[in-house]
């Protein structure tokens, strides 16, 4: 097995564990510390990150897998999880293909708008797929978006750090020296 | 030359009497001594007060620290007292019922606001199965829907996917409670001729084979009477506030226990808030 394959497997494993940790933070830590105040959707921030940074095919399958993990932390039916996540993925791709920016602020704005889109998509899909659709929970979702905006910055930094750690092409030193000598010659 | 020493020798012989010319000198010296003595006392007093102030400052800091510690301990003590009362209540309930109950602790809540579920720290390993009732001292909570090895998910009565057989305690009219995923639910299929009022107690009906019959479930908050409908729409609020639950009981075996109306009324009217974390 090549080094890049091992790194990819490790990256998928670490991202899965981080997703589990994010979900556990939201379900078992936040409510017992801050009560019923809406928790930041760290899992959603991570999905936006994956959709934005990872190659398309890999992102799709990984997000489907994360949807499956989500159902372990909620009573959300799999059909609702997957359809709403695919809608979210398409939303992120729509902006990814049109706005090219690597700034942190861009990621925060994208995360917040993705939260808004996810809420609207979830409510719409719920009315379409479920016999007893979900309520709007306007204030709750609004506060969630605010929290997502605030938490997107540290979460992005954290995920970017992990993502970079498992990049296959990291031999910058020798490669660039060789390249420089080639250019000189 | 010799006159002054002779005079002084003569004066030494009458020690008890002060000479007339020495009196003003003594007066002055006394005055100066008193003045400086007073000054000295003042300086010593001020210095002493300053030193005392320094000590007082230290003492004050120490006492404040002690007070803060005592206050913290007192708060912990109060919290412990509340917890002891709560646990005693739970223990008494467990002792006084025929049902086989398994105490469990809430370790998680649903990730999405669209669903109302909790996770408890008991699973298949502890004998939990699908559709076992979950209750507290004050009333019904929900049922086990996804038991895993060490933990289980519990669907609360407020979830929009949950449906329970219920009846109005006062009139014994039967209906079905459906959750709304908000803080309440709707009691359906109650005949419009039934006398239902706000504040009426809804108890478990027992036909769903989940809960024992007659256990407090909810309180009526609002009754809608539509002119063209044969049934009432009764809005209800659960007796248990789902976001405050800390400990629950899983009913392993209900032992055919039915709760009498008197018992349930008492349980609802004098809530002991065992699930509260206030």
* Whether B112 and A74 lie within 8 Å, measured CB to CB: yes
* pLDDT tens by residue, A28-74: 899 888 888 899 999 999 999 999 999 999 999 999 999 999 998 99
ipTM of the predicted assembly exceeds 0.90:
no
Phi-psi label, residue B139: left if phi above 0, alpha if psi -120 to 50, beta otherwise: left
Question: Best of B107, B114, B245 to disrupt the A interface by mutation (most A CBs within 10 Å)?
Answer: B114
Helical H segments across A97-137, by residue range:
104-129
Spell out the residues 6+ positions from residue A125 whose beta carbon is closer than 8 angstroms to its own: A80, A83, A84, A87
State both tokens at A169.
């092409």
Spell out the residues 6+ positions from residue B189 whose beta carbon is closer than 8 angstroms to its own: B174, B175, B176, B231
| Beta bridge partner(s), residue B135 | B140, B249
Distances, alpha carbon B108 to alpha carbons B102, B131, B153, B242, B243, in Å: 18, 19, 9, 12, 10
**Closest CB from B111, B113, B145 relative to A73:** B111
* Whether A75 and B161 lie within 8 Å, measured CB to CB: yes
Instruction: Give the separation between CA A122 and CA A145, rounded to whole angstroms.
Output: 14
* pLDDT tens by residue, A129-172: 988 888 888 999 999 999 999 999 999 999 999 999 888 765 55
For helices A42-53 and A138-165, the axis angle rounded to 10 degrees is: 50
* Whether A27 and B114 lie within 8 Å, measured CB to CB: no
Identify the top-confidence range among A123-127, A177-181, B51-55, B180-184.
Answer: A123-127
Residues in chain B predicted with pLDDT less than 50, given as ranges, are 260-278
Residue that the structure tokens 């398994």 belong to = B102
Question: Best of A75, A118, A123 to disrupt the B interface by mutation (most B CBs within 10 Å)?
Answer: A75
Phi then psi for residue A152, to 5 deg, are -65, -30
Distances, alpha carbon B70 to alpha carbons A117, A136, B76, B80, B84, in Å: 51, 47, 10, 15, 20
pTM of the predicted model as reported, rounded to 2 decimal places: 0.72
CA distance A119 to chain B (A): 10
Chain B hits for A141, Cβ within 8 Å: 113
State both tokens at B216.
């407090």
Helical H segments across chain A, by residue range:
3-24, 30-34, 42-53, 56-70, 78-96, 104-129, 138-165, 172-184
Chain B hits for A74, Cβ within 8 Å: 110-112, 115, 117
The whole-number pLDDT of residue B32 equals 74
β-pairing verdict for B216-224 and B117-120: unpaired
* pLDDT tens by residue, B162-207: 888 998 988 888 899 999 878 889 998 888 888 888 889 999 888 8
Helical H segments across chain B, by residue range:
3-12, 22-96, 261-269
The whole-number pLDDT of residue B242 equals 80
* Whether B109 and A27 lie within 8 Å, measured CB to CB: yes
Spell out the residues 6+ positions from residue A36 whose beta carbon is closer than 8 angstroms to its own: B243
């Amino acid at each position: 097995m090549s080094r890049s394959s091992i790194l990819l497997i490790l990256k998928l494993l670490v991202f899965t564990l981080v997703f589990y940790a994010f979900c556990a933070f939201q379900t078992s830590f936040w409510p017992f510390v801050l009560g019923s105040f809406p928790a930041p959707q760290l899992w959603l921030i991570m999905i936006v990150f994956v959709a934005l940074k990872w190659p398309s095919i890999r992102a799709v399958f990984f997000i489907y897998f994360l949807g499956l993990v989500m159902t372990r932390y909620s009573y959300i039916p799999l059909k609702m999880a997957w359809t709403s996540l695919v809608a979210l993925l398409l939303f992120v791709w729509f902006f990814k293909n049109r706005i090219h920016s690597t700034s942190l602020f861009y990621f925060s704005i994208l995360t917040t708008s993705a939260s808004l889109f996810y809420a609207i998509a979830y409510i719409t899909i719920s009315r379409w797929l479920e016999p007893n659709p979900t309520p709007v929970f306007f204030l709750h979702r609004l506060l969630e978006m605010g929290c997502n905006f605030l938490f997107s910055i540290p979460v992005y930094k954290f995920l970017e750090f992990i993502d970079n750690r498992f990049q296959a092409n990291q031999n910058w030193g020798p490669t660039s020296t060789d390249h420089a000598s080639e250019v000189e010659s | 030359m010799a006159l002054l020493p002779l005079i002084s020798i003569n004066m030494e012989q009458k020690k008890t009497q002060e000479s007339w010319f020495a009196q003003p000198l003594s007066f002055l010296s006394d005055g100066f001594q008193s003045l400086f003595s007073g000054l000295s006392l003042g300086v010593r007093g001020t210095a002493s007060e300053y030193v005392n102030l320094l000590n007082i400052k230290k003492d004050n800091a120490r006492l404040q620290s002690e007070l803060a510690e005592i206050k913290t301990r007192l708060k912990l003590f109060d919290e412990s007292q509340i917890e002891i009362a709560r646990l005693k209540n739970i223990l008494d309930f467990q002792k006084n019922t025929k049902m086989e109950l398994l105490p469990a602790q809430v370790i998680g809540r649903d990730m999405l606001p669209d669903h109302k579920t909790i996770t408890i720290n008991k699973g298949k390993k502890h004998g939990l199965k699908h559709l076992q009732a979950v209750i507290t001292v004050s009333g019904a909570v929900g049922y086990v829907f996804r038991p895993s090895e060490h933990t289980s998910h519990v669907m609360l009565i407020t979830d929009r996917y949950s449906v329970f057989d219920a009846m109005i305690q006062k009139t014994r009219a039967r209906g079905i409670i459906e959750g709304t995923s908000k803080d309440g639910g709707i009691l359906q299929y109650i005949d419009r001729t039934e006398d239902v009022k706000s504040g009426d107690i809804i108890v478990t009906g027992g036909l769903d084979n989940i809960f024992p019959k007659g256990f407090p479930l909810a309180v009526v908050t609002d009754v809608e009477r539509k002119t063209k409908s044969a049934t009432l729409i009764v809005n209800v609020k659960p007796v248990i506030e789902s976001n405050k639950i800390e400990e629950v009981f899983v009913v392993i075996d209900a032992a055919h226990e039915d709760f009498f109306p008197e018992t349930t009324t008492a349980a609802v009217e004098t809530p002991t808030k065992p699930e509260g974390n206030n």
